[in-house]
Structure 1
Amino acid sequence: MLKRKRQRKYLVKRCLELRDQLHTFAASGSQEALHKLRVEIKKLKAFSKLTKLYRGEGDVTIKKDIKQIFHRAGVIREASINLQMIKQFDIHQPVFNIKATNIIQQETGKFRLNKTHYDHDITNMVKSFLRSLRPVHNRSIKHWFTRQLRKIAAVFATASTGQFHEARKRIKYLVYVHGILHGRLTAALSLDIDYLIQVQDAIGKWHDTTVAVELLTAYKASNKTKISRLRKEQDKAAKAVHAIGNGFWDKVLKRDG
């Protein structure tokens, strides 16, 4: 059983880490801190999925205020990544550079102005989680993991890339929730977490090439050679995802011996 004490310890750790990254980003504008801030919110989202297993109790959802923090951080993060992309793929677009840089500066300024408010929002959200904690039976957790794994496996049963992003989100939730569980339960689940992370990374590489293709198409359409080369990389990355995802169910479950 996943006891309240273990859940409480996990939530307090998440709260402290999230607030730390919030203050670090507000002070320095560090993109790494911003990335970690978003990861911490994703971990809380994963935890909210777990609360749906509480019998006879309403699940605790991520509040609108926290979703707003996540969204605003995402706007800054996306602009920063796009700047990295156009530099990496040598896309000469001064107007785009200026626009993305302005977004980062303006949104970072807003973030700093709202730091204290965001800090309170985070603390209040975690407090609401702490008030609602209930123990979760092992069988409920096992059933939840099985449902998620079947949905991921279904993505790799098709030749489409349309559900890659959704599969990646589910994998992240599984990995985050797995990190909350005690040793006996993780042993009983027999999941190959390293394999799940490899699948997630493969989808991440495909996503990066997809974004690069979109940027090149939008801002450097005349360079057909570069676009063609990058689309080949995109296809290669998609094939790599399907290759590692082939036989997903057998690969993700550890076998004795």
Structure 2
Amino acid sequence: MANSLSDRSSGGHQAPKNKKYQMKREALEQVIDKHISNIEKHSKKLPGTFDKEDIHDLRVNYKKVRAFLRLLQLEKDAGDLHISDKLKSLYHHCGTVRDWQLFLEELHDVGIVDQLPDCMHRWHRQVFTYKEQTVHAIETTHFKKLLHGIIKELPRQLQEDTVKQFMHQKIAAIHILLLAAENEKDLHSIRKQIKDIIYCIRIFKSDWGIPFPFRGWKSEKELNEMASSLGDFNDQCLAISLLQPSYICKCDYKEQHILRNLQINWLHQKEARQRQLLYEVQELHVEHAF
């Protein structure tokens, strides 16, 4: 039984158990339009302020579009569904600014900023350059054009069997990663698979007002908490990467010494957290339960 967005979204009712989901093209277009529009809205608010929440919301909407396209690519009549290089560039520029904002905040939190006048001056100048690059990326991104480019490649519908196939692929990928997970790269890869699942669940619930048709985990809360923990760990790894010699070598010797000690301390914390997360992901209950 085919259901359009208007048929299914009012009231958030569950689908009859013996009838299959089939979201029509109009419903698919509305999801893409909504989240591309949100990216554009937040990008226009960035110049001048670069508010952390705007950067975060822009990147979340981008990730929702990316996860949704990965799902739709599995439909037989889907065209060349991809995100344009311009939008990718904007996303990555925003990510660079975000990484540095979080890093500098962390330095404030550990209380060593006053001991790093030379480095802080250099880093603030560097962040200003990253912000200029981001503004340029915003100005050269034609949102209507890239929206049209995605919509014209959409399949006629999204079928329940396609969602099922998507879930099988994601859960299989997680299980394969868990077989030999041993470092931060593996944890990051597992997080990406989990986040694709979570973003698609949220699209079903928030955009269409209907429950996600499959459940391959014991607890959705557990799934969200794991993704959040892995995200915090990823931020921790990024902060450590910004203490590499290429970023601090131009600072004076005294400041380099302070930062190297901080790096050693953070590395110890990271190693302990990595061991804990490698244990916790093995306990994550995801399975082919559909």
Q: Name the Cα RMSD after superposition.
A: 2.9
What corresponds to 1:196 in structure 2? 223
SS in 1 for 2:46: helix
Q: Helix, strand or coil for the counterpart of 1:57?
A: coil
Q: Is the 8 A contact 2:40 2:143 kept in 1?
A: yes
CA 1:3–1:185 in 2, change beyond 3 Å: closer, same or farther? farther
- Residue 163 of structure 2 is aligned to residue 136 of structure 1: no
The more displaced of 90-99 and 18-27 is 90-99
**Counterpart Cα distance in 2 of 1:245 and 1:67:** 29
In structure 2, the CA distance between the partners of 1:165 and 1:188, relative to structure 1 (3 Å rule), is: closer
**Paired position in structure 2 for 1:50:** 71
Where 2:47 maps in the other structure, the secondary structure is helix
Alignment partners' CA distance in 1, 2:179 and 2:137: 45
The aligned amino acid for 2:124 is T
User: CA offset at residue 188 of structure 1?
Assistant: 3.2
Within 5 Å, give how 1:55-204 maps onto structure 2. 55-89=76-110, 90=112, 92-112=115-135, 115-118=138-141, 121-134=142-155, 135-161=157-183, 162-181=185-204, 186-191=212-217, 192-204=219-231
CA displacement at 1:231 relative to structure 2? 3.3
Distance 1:153 1:238, change over 3 A: same
Q: Deviations over 1:58-99 (max 9, x none)?
A: 331111111121122222222222212333333644343223
Cα offset, 1:148, TM superposition: 0.9
Q: Decide which of 5, 29, 32 is 2:53's aligned counterpart.
A: 32
Gaps of 5+ in 1: none
* 1:165–1:203 CA contact under 8 A, matched in 2: yes
Q: Which amino acid aligns with 2:275?
A: K
Tell me what 2:4 maps to. Answer: none
Counterpart-to-counterpart distance in 1, 2:133 and 2:242: 27
Indicate the percent of aligned positions where both proteins have the same amino acid. 17
Kindly state the Cα deviation for residue 47 of structure 1 after the two structures are TM-superposed: 2.1
Partner residue in 2 for 1:238:
274
Q: 1:230 and 1:156 mapped to 2: Cα distance?
A: 25
C-alpha change, 1:47 and 1:229, in structure 2 (3 Å) is same
With the length of structure 2 as denominator, give the TM-score of the two structures: 0.74
The Cα of 1:57 is off from its aligned counterpart by: 3.5
Name the amino acid aligned to 1:237.
Answer: R
| Residue identity opposite 2:192 in structure 1 | K
Could you say which residue in structure 2 is the equivalent of 1:18? 39
Contact 1:7 1:180 survives alignment (8 Å): no
Structure (1 or 2) with the larger CA radius of gyration: 2
Deviations 1:90-148 (A, max 9, x none): 36443432232113223323444564432xx2222122222222212211211111111
CA separation in 1, counterparts of 2:275 and 2:130?
A: 37
- The normalised TM-score by structure 1 is 0.83
Structure 1 window deviating more from structure 2 (224-233 vs 187-196): it is: 224-233
Query: Given that residues 76 and 104 in structure 1 are in contact (C-alpha distance below 8 angstroms), is that contact kept between their aligned partners in structure 2?
Result: yes
The secondary structure found in structure 2 opposite 1:28 is coil
Q: Does 1:207 align with 2:234?
A: yes
Q: Is the 8 A contact 1:202 1:240 kept in 2?
A: no
Q: Higher helix fraction: Structure 1 or Structure 2?
A: 1
Relative to 1, partners in 2 of residues 1:211 and 1:69: Cα closer, same or farther, differing over 3 Å? closer
Letter in 2 for 1:75: T
Distance 2:270 2:32 in 1: 38
Distance in 1 (CA, whole Å) between partners of 2:243 and 2:84 is 37
